[in-house]
Structure 1
Amino acid sequence: MTARRGELAAFLRAARERVRPADVGLPDLGRRRTPGLRRQEVAELAAVSIDWYVRLEQGRVGTPGSAVLDGIAAALLLSPAERVHLHLIARGEAPPPPHVPAPLSGSLRAVLDGMPLLPAYVMDFRFDVLACNAAASALFGPEFGHGRMDNTARMLFLVPETRETNVDWAAFAREMVGNLRANQARYPDDPRLAEVVAELRAASRDFAAWWDDRHVHERSRGRKRIRHAAAGVMTVDYDMLAALDGSDQRLFVLTPADGASERALRGLVTAHATALASAG
């Protein structure tokens, strides 16, 4: 145990010194006594108290939780191998296996496919997109649900195109932060959720500021405006419906709020279907 604590202290200090403030979206203000990040900056990025983080570096916090360590790993930009090493020296065991999204139920898949004119998708409490229908692909693009667009919270804060298409971005983004905080309280040990929050805190100043004000929001319906390059500005209502099978999956559906938006959305969906048929 003593050896592990010494290794933990040395490892965390070395990892901090490798990360420049600019690497995690922080301003580099003036000279620093040591290279890399300060302890306070790591604590803020990982959403832990500075006192707790100092004691962690000194090996005085007992056995840290897995999700907290994943938050620190994300704040320090650790590689997968370094993340495993951090868990081993801090907890004495390897971290949980990588997150695998829950399988989509057949009934929800049928619901998605049965709404050809309404953009809809299924996500979990981490806001990972599990599946979407053709109308959602027509509205958000073929990347939706994959790669950099596999999580709607990451999309909202880290994908510039998504920020541009949300006319009322600040209100909707702040609502997203409040939803994430509420979900973290329900699933405090979920490593994937901790990873998403830590990444957003490190990469987005807006997210970090709103996260730190401790706002909690659980809105399941509302209205938003979407700016589309081809269809113009559309006003849509959104509803987020929770599945009743205990899977923590949510069905998110967009419906046009007026006649002009309905015609624009119908045109997008029709054009998308025609393009798919021509490609096939």
Structure 2
Amino acid sequence: MPNRPELSAFLRAMRARVQPDDVGLPAMSRRRTPGLRRQEVAQLAAVSIDWYIRLEQGRVGVPGTAVLDAVAQALKLTAAERHHLHLIARGEAPPPRHVPAPASESLQTLLHSMPTVPAWILDFRFDVLAHNTAAVALFGPGFTVGINTAKPLFLDPATRDFQLDWTRIAREHVGNLRANLTRHPDDPRLRSLVGELRRKSRDFATWWDDQTVQERTNGTKRILHPTAGVMTLRYDVLAVQDGSEQRLSVITPADTDAENALRALIFQPHGLRAVN
């Protein structure tokens, strides 16, 4: 059985050493004790304040691995401290840290065989696993392997300017993330992402709480590109049928104007070279 007194002492000590500005919270008033309040840890970990208080008091039974990882992230624990937290709270070592599964070689070959079609591979957490040059030409040099596409959608004001149908596209992402979390309730990376977006985006929190569930598969959207102007584009999200739950996302022009603008972006001097 977990050592409850040690768990309580450990969590209090870890909480005391983290300052609000360490985790992006405002220090709005003087504090009687150093570190985060219990309510702030609960907010950061996306758990209820009552549950976190019981955890710190050792009254929650054996907590799940995903929620412990959310607490570990909220308290900015090191790998050794995370390991220790799982041992004293669950009596067993934690699962390995999430490492995104790479896109298969055949999928990457497919991406690069479509030089005029922006395309990329996502996992169920919306992490980019691979992309082609046309995708970078459309979205810019910040579109790289390893970024999470849901974060800028909700947290970067420039993305709202770029996505002219932002509300619809953003709500699709919320519904998709809820469906994905239902399939992967113990995935620490996904739980952490949802918790962060609920804390930092009022829109995400509102739409998450309305219980919308949907799969984002296809549609049409308008974007305002900084150099190419307004483009109407079609998007298709295709499931990879290999059990990995990866998705192939593809952008195609919806009209002649968008086709010309997209080709100009892709074949500009810093993009691909046109073949005569």
TM-score, structure 2 length as denominator? 0.86
TM superposition shift of 1:24: 4.5
2:247 pairs with 1:269: no
Amino acid at match of 1:152: T
Q: Higher helix proportion, which one?
A: 1
* Residue of structure 2 equivalent to 1:117: 116
Measured in 1, the distance between the counterparts of 2:113 and 2:179 equals: 31
1:84 to 1:195, Cα distance in 2 relative to 1, 3 A: farther
TM superposition shift of 1:179: 1.2
Contact 1:25 1:203 in 2 (8 A): no
The equivalences for 1:224-243 within 5 A come to 224-243=221-240
**Paired-residue identity, %:** 66
Contact 2:137 2:271 in 1 (8 A): no
* Residue of structure 1 equivalent to 2:90: 91
1:159 to 1:125, Cα distance in 2 relative to 1, 3 A: same
| Higher alpha-carbon deviation: 204-213 or 91-100 | 204-213
Measured in 2, the distance between the counterparts of 1:19 and 1:209 equals: 28
Amino acid at match of 2:54: R
* Structure 1 vs Structure 2 CA RMSD: 2.6
1:76 to 1:223, Cα distance in 2 relative to 1, 3 A: farther
Measured in 2, the distance between the counterparts of 1:264 and 1:18 equals: 53
Please give the per-residue CA displacement for 1:181-237, whole angstroms capped at 9, x wherever unaligned.
111110111122123223333444443343344332323112222222111121211
TM-score, structure 1 length as denominator? 0.85
Measured in 2, the distance between the counterparts of 1:206 and 1:100 equals: 29
2:192 pairs with 1:195: yes
* Residue of structure 1 equivalent to 2:140: 141
Amino acid at match of 2:188: P
Measured in 2, the distance between the counterparts of 1:113 and 1:119 equals: 10
TM superposition shift of 1:160: 4.5
| Higher alpha-carbon deviation: 153-162 or 30-39 | 30-39
Contact 1:118 1:136 in 2 (8 A): yes
TM superposition shift of 1:128: 1.0
The equivalences for 1:7-156 within 5 A come to 7-21=6-20, 23-26=22-25, 34-146=33-145, 150-156=147-153
1:258 to 1:276, Cα distance in 2 relative to 1, 3 A: closer
Residue among 171, 176, 184 paired with 1:174: 171
Contact 2:133 2:271 in 1 (8 A): no
* Residue of structure 2 equivalent to 1:254: 251
1:153 to 1:90, Cα distance in 2 relative to 1, 3 A: same
SS in 1 for 2:70: helix
Instruction: List alignment gaps of at least 5 residues for structure 2.
Output: none
Contact 2:45 2:192 in 1 (8 A): no
Moved over 6 A (4+): none
Measured in 1, the distance between the counterparts of 2:175 and 2:236 equals: 17
Instruction: List alignment gaps of at least 5 residues for structure 1.
Output: none
Residue among 203, 208, 213 paired with 1:211: 208
TM superposition shift of 1:35: 4.8
SS in 1 for 2:232: strand
Measured in 1, the distance between the counterparts of 2:131 and 2:205 equals: 29
